[in-house]
């Protein structure tokens, strides 16, 4: 499909037959005078009084328990950068579609004009009573870290920055399986991460929580390797600063078992891939153009396992495998937070699912005759119907176990 054709199709999709991708639909009948008296006055007074006496009753009498706010300031829009909150609205509506399609969760998209993190935090805190959960989206680093941390402390509902933790969850699930395919272990793997923003830092944090060693990790940003002698590092980069003589991405890649790219297009060369260890793993996740195209990486190394963020190649690292089901589990458990233990539970549920026999319905949906766990299948497909059961259940179990320990 040409770029001109794609542009027209995308714009028509969003504009026709009426603008946008979301609408509000009543879940109760309102066709008679009796219905009207129950939906609004005088009947609506009864749940108001019950909730006033006991706020937890909001989960019984309103949509709070199945309603998530998808909130942005538009400073880091889906690979397009800072385009402002209004321009981010199509993406936020799109997230709403995915929440509903894959996990049956309702969404209000909220685009916030905020000049500082503190201002953004105040807005979200003020509207939080409406929702059962908050999904932060497309907020630039390092402000996204500050915003999420503050809201987690202030609110009694789950707060989740998908660009951090959703991405991290899918990366970790894919890497667990890629390591198994390649006969390697997370505890001993030498990992290079290119990109020190929200996704990169969160992915490394989750990998370390699952057993990766910081001493085996090299973080690389636009200035090169993050090392102890560098000045001006923020606290999140400092956590991964190594005492090393390595300075460039090319130097860091020598002997690496794993490359994770959450940066920009065409930053990795075939020579860098050739310099990696035997049976390497390359996750080139920049979208829409990865750090290195699969064709080039596989021409350099026939023994690699490759993943991208694109749907036209095998092993797509796609956040839709994570956030709808993580929130479904959190809402079902009425969790106050989405914890690291809940994310790790999601990682293992996703990884385990990819090792099982693929249902015929999935093969039909993707026009495939066969799909077997291996180099070209390390993550479940988004339309796998088992995701909606397995991942939320695992997340809810982890939430309830954590609640019992408190």
* Residues with catalytic function: 40, 95
- Whether the link from the prior residue into 142 is cis, omega within 30° of 0, is yes
Sign of CA dihedral 164, 168, 171, 174: negative
Nearest Cα neighbor of 174 from 196, 194, 203 is: 203
By CB atoms closer than 10 A (0-12, 13-18, 19+), residue 28 is exposed
Residue 376, classed as helix, strand or coil, is coil
CA atoms of 297 and 273, how far apart (whole Å): 7
Residue 170 Cα distances to 100, 111, 325, 373, angstroms: 20, 26, 12, 16
Asked if 228 contacts 241 with a C-beta cutoff of 8 angstroms, the reply is: yes
Report angle CA 205, 139, 345 to the nearest 5 degrees.
35
Half-sphere exposure of 209 (CA within 13 A, CB side): 18
As given in the structure block, the two tokens for residue 369 are: 């005759």
Number of Cβ within a 10 Å radius of residue 342: 27
In terms of DSSP bridges, do strands 191-194 and 217-221 run parallel, antiparallel, or are they unpaired?
A: parallel
Sign of CA dihedral 269, 270, 275, 279: positive
As given in the structure block, the two tokens for residue 14 are: 């969003």
CA atoms of 383 and 371, how far apart (whole Å): 14
CA atoms of 280 and 215, how far apart (whole Å): 19
DSSP annotation of 65: G
Asked if 305 contacts 181 with a C-beta cutoff of 8 angstroms, the reply is: yes
């Amino acid at each position: 499909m040409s770029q001109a054709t794609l542009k027209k199709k995308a714009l028509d999709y969003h504009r026709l037959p009426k603008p946008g991708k979301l609408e509000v639909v009543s879940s109760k009948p309102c066709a008679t005078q009796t219905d009207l008296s129950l939906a609004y006055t005088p009947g609506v007074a009864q749940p108001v009084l019950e909730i006033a006496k006991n706020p937890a009753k909001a989960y019984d009498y309103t949509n709070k328990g199945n309603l998530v706010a998808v909130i942005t300031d538009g400073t880091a829009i889906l690979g397009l950068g800072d385009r402002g909150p209004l321009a981010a609205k199509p993406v936020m509506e799109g997230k709403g579609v995915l929440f509903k399609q894959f996990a049956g969760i309702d969404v209000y998209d909220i685009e916030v004009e905020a000049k500082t993190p503190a201002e953004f935090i105040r807005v979200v805190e003020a509207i939080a009573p409406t929702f059962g959960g908050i999904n932060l989206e497309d907020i630039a680093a390092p402000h996204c870290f500050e915003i999420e941390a503050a809201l987690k402390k202030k609110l009694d509902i789950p707060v989740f920055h998908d660009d951090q933790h959703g991405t991290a969850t899918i990366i970790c699930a894919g890497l667990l399986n890629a390591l198994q395919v390649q006969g390697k272990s997370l505890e001993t793997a030498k990992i290079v991460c290119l990109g020190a923003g929200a996704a990169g830092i969160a992915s490394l944090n989750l990998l370390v929580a699952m057993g990766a060693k910081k001493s085996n990790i090299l973080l690389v940003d636009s200035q090169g390797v993050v090392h102890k002698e560098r000045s001006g590092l923020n606290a999140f980069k400092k956590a991964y600063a190594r005492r090393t003589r390595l300075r460039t991405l090319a130097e860091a890649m020598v002997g690496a078992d794993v490359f994770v790219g959450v940066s920009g297009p065409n930053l990795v060369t075939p020579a860098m891939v050739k310099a990696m260890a035997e049976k390497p793993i390359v996750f080139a996740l920049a979208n829409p153009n990865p750090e290195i195209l699969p064709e080039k990486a596989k021409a350099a190394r026939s023994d690699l396992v490759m993943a991208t963020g694109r749907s036209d190649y095998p092993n797509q690292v796609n956040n839709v495998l994570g956030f709808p089901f993580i929130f479904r589990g959190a809402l079902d458990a009425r969790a106050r937070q989405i914890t690291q233990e809940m994310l790790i539970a999601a990682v293992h549920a996703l990884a385990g699912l990819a090792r099982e026999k693929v249902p015929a319905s999935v093969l039909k949906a993707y026009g495939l005759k066969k799909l077997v766990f291996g180099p070209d299948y390390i993550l479940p497909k988004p339309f796998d119907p088992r995701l909606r059961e397995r991942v939320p259940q695992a997340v809810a179990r982890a939430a309830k176990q954590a609640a019992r320990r408190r």
